[in-house]
Amino acid sequence: MLADFISYLIFGNHCKYCGELIPFGETLCNECETDLPRITGEKCKLCGAGKDRCSCKKTKMRYDGICAPFYYEKTIETAIRKYKFADKPYIAKVLATDMAETVKADFADIKFDFIDYIPFSKSQNKKRKYNPAGEIAKEMSKILGIPVCNVLTKPFETETQHISGAFYRKGNVAGAYDTLDNMDLQGKTVLLVDDIKTTGSTLNECARVLKIAGAERVYCAVAALTAKEKTKEKQ
Ligand SMILES: [Zn+2]
Ligand SMILES: [Zn+2]
């Protein structure tokens, strides 16, 4: 606590999502606090959205479940954009802390053998300073005490997800991912980590190849997911 106060005197205290200066002892600025798009209430186990915003129509995926602390909007969308594209790696720890809490709550009965994350291809690795999913996975590993084992690989290039349309996105990941050679994942339960889930096709494909390599169950954890707000019926 004293160390925190000394650090406050030197560096000030910053909102954990947007970085604004805030009073000592607080973790969020007022704006982030009111705009935090937390997923609350009963959740759909298949898509991770709140039951009030689920529109997955119970579509079965290759993974066995998914959880996320937030919707990809407002404060969290801004924070993740900064994290991914403005070289703000410290946000990984903030997101990982929220994700770890959600994993503990939503997957309380599940014993994970290891954490894996959505890998980059060679050219993505060259272009970017860090893999956002990889940094989050490392931080979650520290909090949850589960080792990271990156058995997933991405031998083929695909279009960047956020610039290609949903229609194209659905098909463009099939066959893009693989696992390291001679990996025997027989009977293993994997926690698969990524930053955002939109259609879920990347997580689905990675879960598929992990299962081909023998994994018995694959559960996903993402920082945020997209889910349309249902328009309220007119009274
Ligand atoms: Zn803030
Ligand atoms: Zn759903």
Domain spans, the chain = 1-35, 38-225
Determine the distance separating the centroid of ligand 2 and the alpha carbon of 115, expressed in angstroms.
Answer: 24
Return the pLDDT at 183: 82
pLDDT for 151 equals 96
Q: For residue 34, with 0-12 CB atoms within 10 Å meaning exposed, 13-18 middle and 19 or more buried, which class applies? A: exposed
Q: How far is the CA of 200 from the centre of ligand 2 (A)?
A: 11
Residues of the chain with pLDDT under 70: 159-172, 232-235
Neighbouring CB atoms inside 10 A of 223's CB total 28
Q: What is the pLDDT of residue 57?
A: 86
Note the pLDDT of residue 168. Answer: 46
Ligand lying closest to the C-alpha of residue 28: 1
Question: Cβ contacts of residue 11 below 8 Å, gap of 6+?
Answer: none
Ligand that comes closest to the CA of residue 14? 1
Q: State the CATH class of domain 38-225.
A: alpha beta
CA of 18 to the centre of ligand 1 (A): 4
* pLDDT value at residue 172: 67
Write down the pLDDT at residue 167: 45
- pLDDT for the residue 205: 95
Q: What's residue 5's pLDDT?
A: 76
Instruction: Give residue 213 CA to ligand 2 midpoint distance, Å.
Output: 27
Question: How high is the pLDDT of residue 84?
Answer: 86
Which residues place a Cβ less than 5 A from the ion ligand 1? 15, 17-18, 20, 29, 32
C-alpha of residue 51 to centroid of ligand 2, in Å: 7
How many angstroms separate the alpha carbon of residue 104 from the centre of ligand 2?
20
Distance of CA 129 to the CA centre of its chain: 18
pLDDT of residue 159: 58
